[in-house]
Amino acid sequence: MNKAEFLKELHDILAGKLPPEELDDVLSYYEAYFADSEEDEETVAERLGSPASVAEQVLKDRNEPTEEVPAPQPGKQKNRAFLPIIVFCGAVVLALLLYFLLVRPDPSDSVLLPGQTADAVQTPDIQGDWEGEVDPFTKLDISIGLGNVQVEEGDQWHLRLINRGWDSRYDTTQKLKYSQNGDTLSVWSVSDNIASGESSPDVRVLVTVPAGTVLEQADLSLGMGNLTWDDCTVKGRLRAECGMGNLSVSAPVEETTLTTGMGNITLDLAGSQEDYTWDLTASSGTIRLNGETTEPYSVSGGEGDHKLSLTSGMGNVSLEFSQIPTAQPASTPTKPSVTPSPNTDITAPDQITDEMILADEVGYSARHWINYSDSSSCEVSWGSLSGVRRLQTLPGTEARTVSVQYSQQTPGEYRVVLILPNETVVDLKEGENTLDLPEGTTWLAVAAAGSEGAFTVEW
């Protein structure tokens, strides 16, 4: 069974049992799953199991009664053995959502944090928009049922809460609250009746700390939503968990645990690979280490003192270090090393010479970095990028002619290039680029001097 046949049968089974938007999300997820895999479509379909068994699990995860569906066809035992993990992760997703969205009580009603008085937690309910300065803190505690969280560096200690969402079915707004006690800033949400309504809530928590801030601890829990963490250093523990949503961290961190029931995890770590050990798990998705796809399901490695744990029940996991050893065992994916900070003397992308790109002399720093890639495309956007960043390699190492389609989504001062095995740098032009690639590995890279930008590349 190929991808088209799998998706058509899955659509036919779920049509009428899921709302159209949810059905589209499910089909888009499995279409992306096929695209991300480097295996042929028949092998991927066999690993997933029959469309009937997948549809049954989707409906179970949604906590809805299902009709009898045909038993899944037997596949290879070594692949099918991981299906219980996927089933378990689906239950974890549901449990997290129910806990954060329906069960969690209002801390201000009955719970006091250590050292707090009753007055310290009686903050007003935030509805609409609220923002203001906060006192310096070293510990961050965020727990919200529905919404996105963003932590970034800026000019001051600042908190912004956006709560424009409501549930049309119950006509009840989700409450956002915050408090500050000693060196801890806490933000949490409270709602009696959050459920899927017709409205599209806009709930966001934006935390800004001065550049150079070092936090001792951060604990973040999201029922449904995305986390974006840019630049802010955490020297102690960073823990983030999410029932459904993506977790993206790009910063110097030490002990880090990132867990999502359904969504992608990306950790771009400004540090040396030799200082860490890692456990990467993706029950249903792709694992990438330093831009290279690894073995499926679970990968462990490293001998450093700091531990990283990245786990996704349904989604992709990516871990990338800014500094990696120049020599590694053959079994470990490798990538040319870069320095963590860009050359501050460079003020325009044309000052980044081809020789610098080839030698990885410039390094990079990035803010609001978003990168999605699969075996045939790459989509990148950022708010500020300085230096040179290698993105991924093009499939294949044989001499060949390729057609590369480049589209600039956000105009800006930056170069998008291919680094050929013969140490030639080729700038991509808008539209179709036909190139003769020599034998060896070809890299896609971007060079910028502080500008914002966004582009897509397909091949």
Regarding predicted confidence, which is higher, 32 or 59?
A: 59
Q: Would residue 334 count as lying in a domain?
A: no
Give the integer Cα–Cα distance in Å for 374 and 327: 26
What's the confidence (pLDDT) of residue 165?
A: 55
Contacts 24+ apart (CB under 8 A), 68-72: 69/13
Give the integer Cα–Cα distance in Å for 226 and 354: 37
What's the confidence (pLDDT) of residue 117?
A: 38
Q: Would residue 216 count as lying in a domain?
A: yes
CA geometry: angle 90, 92, 94, nearest 5 deg:
75
pLDDT in tens, 312-337: 988 899 999 887 665 443 333 333 33
Give the mean pLDDT of 75-85.
41
Give the mean pLDDT of 429-437.
92
Q: Which helix (H) or strand (E) holds 217?
A: strand 214-224
Q: Would residue 88 count as lying in a domain?
A: no
As a whole number of Å, the CA-based R_g of the chain is 23
Percent pLDDT > 70 in the chain is 71
Give the mean pLDDT of 441-457.
86
Contacts 24+ apart (CB under 8 A), 344-352: 346/386, 346/387, 346/449, 347/449, 347/450, 348/413, 348/449, 349/413, 349/414, 349/415, 349/447, 349/448, 349/449, 349/451, 350/415, 351/449, 352/387, 352/388, 352/415, 352/447, 352/449
- With beta carbons less than 8 A apart as the criterion, state whether 449 and 346 touch: yes
- Residue 143 sits in the same domain as residue 19: no
Please determine, for residue 227, whether its predicted confidence score (pLDDT) is greater than 70.
yes
What's the confidence (pLDDT) of residue 80?
A: 39
When mean pLDDT is compared over 161-165, 204-208, 395-399, the highest value belongs to: 204-208
Give the integer Cα–Cα distance in Å for 346 and 387: 8
- Residue 306 sits in the same domain as residue 199: yes
Q: Which two structure tokens, joined as six digits, stand for 90?
A: 């689906």
Q: Would residue 336 count as lying in a domain?
A: no
- Beta-bridged to residue 307, according to DSSP, are 277
- Residue 305 sits in the same domain as residue 354: no
- Residue 355 sits in the same domain as residue 287: no
Within 13 Å of residue 227, how many CA atoms lie on the same side as its CB? Answer: 31
Q: How far is CA 266 from the centre of its chain?
A: 4
Last residue of a domain, one of 40, 64, 81: 81
What's the confidence (pLDDT) of residue 122?
A: 41
Last residue of a domain, one of 323, 341, 358: 323
Reduce the secondary structure of 159-216 to three states and give it as a string.
EEEEECCEECCCCEECEEEEEEECCEEEEEEECCCCCCCCCCCCEEEEEEEECCCEEE
When mean pLDDT is compared over 72-86, 93-107, 168-182, the highest value belongs to: 168-182
Give the integer Cα–Cα distance in Å for 288 and 373: 11
Instruction: Flag the least confident range among 10-19, 66-75, 173-182.
Output: 66-75
Into how many domains does the chain fold? Answer: 3
Q: Would residue 90 count as lying in a domain?
A: no
Regarding predicted confidence, which is higher, 55 or 240?
A: 240
- Residue 178 sits in the same domain as residue 288: yes
- Residue 429 sits in the same domain as residue 394: yes
Q: Would residue 335 count as lying in a domain?
A: no
- Beta-bridged to residue 415, according to DSSP, are 447
When mean pLDDT is compared over 4-13, 79-88, 118-127, 326-335, the highest value belongs to: 4-13
Instruction: Flag the least confident range among 166-180, 307-321, 342-356, 378-392.
Output: 166-180
Q: Which two structure tokens, joined as six digits, stand for 259?
A: 């867990």
Give the mean pLDDT of 209-231.
92
Please determine, for residue 348, whether its predicted confidence score (pLDDT) is greater than 70.
yes
Give the mean pLDDT of 238-254.
92
Give the integer Cα–Cα distance in Å for 151 and 294: 29
Range of the domain at 397: 349-458
Instruction: Flag the least confident range among 93-97, 182-186, 254-258, 415-419.
Output: 93-97
Give the integer Cα–Cα distance in Å for 285 and 317: 7
- Residue 236 sits in the same domain as residue 379: no
Q: How confident is the model at residue 74 (pLDDT cuts 50, 70, 90)?
A: very low
- Residue 200 sits in the same domain as residue 77: no
CA geometry: angle 333, 337, 340, nearest 5 deg:
125
Give the integer Cα–Cα distance in Å for 405 and 139: 46
Specify the amino acid at residue 28.
S
- Residue 312 sits in the same domain as residue 255: yes
Q: How many CB atoms lie within 10 A of CB 114?
A: 7
Residue owning tokens 């499926």: 296
pLDDT in tens, 368-391: 667 666 667 888 887 778 888 887
Nearest to 205, CA basis, from 130, 269, 295: 130
- Residue 309 sits in the same domain as residue 379: no
Q: Would residue 340 count as lying in a domain?
A: no
Residue owning tokens 């990148």: 380
Please determine, for residue 25, whether its predicted confidence score (pLDDT) is greater than 80.
no
Percent pLDDT > 90 in the chain is 25
Q: Would residue 229 count as lying in a domain?
A: yes
Q: Provide DSSP, 9-51.
A: HHHHHHBTTB-HHHHHHHHHHHHHHHHH-SS-HHHHHHHH--H
What's the confidence (pLDDT) of residue 163?
A: 79
> How far is it between the farthest Cα atoms of the chain?
71
Specify the amino acid at residue 153.
E
- Residue 32 sits in the same domain as residue 148: no
CA geometry: angle 361, 362, 364, nearest 5 deg:
135
Please determine, for residue 140, whether its predicted confidence score (pLDDT) is greater than 50.
yes
Give the mean pLDDT of 172-177.
67
Provide the CATH number for the domain around residue 400.
2.60.120
Residue owning tokens 């531990």: 307
Please determine, for residue 115, whether its predicted confidence score (pLDDT) is greater than 80.
no
- With beta carbons less than 8 A apart as the criterion, state whether 395 and 375 touch: yes
Residue owning tokens 């800006």: 412
Q: How confident is the model at residue 139 (pLDDT cuts 50, 70, 90)?
A: very high
- Residue 212 sits in the same domain as residue 283: yes
Last residue of a domain, one of 65, 81, 97: 81
What's the confidence (pLDDT) of residue 205?
A: 93
Per DSSP, 126 falls in state B
pTM over 0.75: no
Instruction: Flag the least confident range among 154-158, 330-334, 374-378, 437-441.
Output: 330-334
Q: Which two structure tokens, joined as six digits, stand for 283?
A: 């029950």
Please determine, for residue 206, whether its predicted confidence score (pLDDT) is greater than 60.
yes
Regarding predicted confidence, which is higher, 15 or 256?
A: 256
Specify the amino acid at residue 293.
T
